Structure 1
Amino acid sequence: MLFYAKTEALRMLRNRRYIVFVVIFPVVLYLINANIYGKQTDGGGLRYSVVLMVSMGAYGALASSMMSSAVPWATERQSGWLRQLQITPLPSWMIIATKLGTAMLLVLPSLLLVAVVGVVQQGVSMPAGQWVPLLLAMWLGTIPFIALGLAIGSLLSADAAQPAAMISMFALAIAGGLWFPPEMFGDTMKTVADVMPSYHYASLGWSIVAGDGVAMTDVLVVAGWAVVLGGAAAYLYRRATVRA
């Protein structure tokens, strides 16, 4: 299992598109926006450089979750590699658990790099009592997006999975307020954001950096989406296995 996880992680880290769009792009977006708006503060006196650090970290983690699960899963299913894995001693649950664990491991580079840039370039400073729950919440909160990626990979071909994952990724980022505050687009957009897992995922981080702790509403919404999307991923995986 560990060898399989290591192989999966190394394969994604050698993917240039993964490095550019998932690791570097969120950092670039953060630097651009933080250097323009970073010194301003929100209604509670929190600097936008901190708010944007959470937003871009969430976007990078979301993108990493989906790109490291949807496309490889679809490619393996289409190439027959998944069928080969199913005749090995690895049980099906272990294959899925390894995919989940590998995808969560690959979330860390984009999440940590945005945080490091925030500290070094923008002077973001928080006590350990905020950094630890922030990074932990942002890491564990990616589970529903990984599940969505696995569902897409089980449903679509390798050629169709990549654009579908990218469209879903951008839609979640925009609807979840990771790029622009939903309030900028009126009450309708705010209503949409309130049911999006991406909004409540980022809100976990926003609440922590604001000193308000973890909001239980955000935890419940993210956990609920994890259950729903996890169930969809499991169903579509079983269906793809039967068809194969």
Structure 2
Amino acid sequence: MNTYLIRLEIVRAVRDPRYLALAVATPIGFYLLFATLFGQGPNVPVNLMVAMAAYGAIWAVLSTTGPRIAQERELGWLTQLRAMPVPAWQVFTAKLLAGLASALPAILAVCLVAVLVKGVRLDPGQWAALVGAMWLGTAPFAALGVAVGYAVNADASYVVCYGLYMVTSAVGGLWIPPAQLPESFREVSGWLPSNRLAELGWQVAGPSPALWPSIGVLAAWTVGLGVIALLAYRRPRFAPRPAAAR
């Protein structure tokens, strides 16, 4: 594995001001707002922390994969990478890992604010399991972002990723508790990776975690979207030509 390529992708992602604003600052702001307005129950601050950590992590992953990959394709950068002595699977894997890595700061930032401002307390083992499970649980969104990045052009990729982000967040119960969603949304919510990502955190922070249903749904989404991403990467007809070639 070309570790330099992976480091390059990660550094470029976390230096993007839009990443810092939408994936880190916005979830923190929403957490503080919601926890102040609705944080009356004993578990509400923790539940909101998990929901907003998932909210930030999803956008972190999508924004550092889809739009960035589509832009690089149009600029011809990925064409140059294909001409270099770097195996295609390393380029593809680096994009996935960079997207996955970008989720970690978003998760940690919300958790840190929850501890410092709202006094959230969990056991050390729970904190480690919570952060680790939610971090790995963003894998389907990394695959989704890569698929979008290789399938559509730069202008459309941001719109597609943001639209998917908002829809999956709303229907997945990140803004409103899943139990309070309309019945039609509740029937769909449990099958969405956004809901299962948050469910992992809620279960880990709860007294009797039942993780396997969420892990199974997230794993299925990861495999399915990973196959789609690989097909989009390997089939040039799924992607527009670089701008220089037009």
Matching residue's letter, 1:52: L
Query: Matches of 1:89 and 1:212 in 2, distance apart?
Result: 50
Query: Matches of 1:164 and 1:186 in 2, distance apart?
Result: 24
1:210 aligns to what? 206
Where structure 1 has 5 or more consecutive residues not aligned to the other structure, the ranges are: 42-46
Query: Matches of 1:70 and 1:37 in 2, distance apart?
Result: 34
How much has 1:78 moved relative to structure 2? Answer: 1.3
Query: Matches of 1:37 and 1:102 in 2, distance apart?
Result: 35
Three-state SS of the structure 1 residue aligned to 2:235 is helix
Where structure 2 has 5 or more consecutive residues not aligned to the other structure, the ranges are: 242-246
Matching residue's letter, 1:35: T
Q: How many residues align?
A: 239
1:7 aligns to what? 8
How much has 1:40 moved relative to structure 2? Answer: 1.6
1:142 aligns to what? 138
2:244 aligns to what? none
Q: Is the 8 A contact 2:152 2:238 kept in 1?
A: no
Q: Show CA shifts across 1:126-166 (max 9, x none).
A: 11121111111100000100110111111110111011110
Which of the numbers 65, 70, 83 marks the counterpart of 2:79?
A: 83
2:23 aligns to what? 22
Is 1:39 the counterpart of 2:35? The answer is no
TM-score (norm 2): 0.93
Q: Is the 8 A contact 2:173 2:181 kept in 1?
A: no
Query: Matches of 1:124 and 1:57 in 2, distance apart?
Result: 14
Among the aligned pairs, what percent are the same residue? 35
Q: Is the 8 A contact 2:66 2:145 kept in 1?
A: yes
Query: Matches of 1:182 and 1:105 in 2, distance apart?
Result: 27
How much has 1:87 moved relative to structure 2? Answer: 1.4
Matching residue's letter, 2:131: L
Query: Matches of 2:19 and 2:211 in 1, distance apart?
Result: 31
1:191 aligns to what? 187
Q: Which moved more, 1:67-76 or 1:179-188?
A: 179-188
Which of the numbers 70, 73, 80 marks the counterpart of 2:69?
A: 73
CA RMSD of aligned residues (A): 1.5
Is 1:171 the counterpart of 2:167? The answer is yes
Query: Matches of 2:191 and 2:68 in 1, distance apart?
Result: 28
Query: Matches of 2:27 and 2:78 in 1, distance apart?
Result: 31
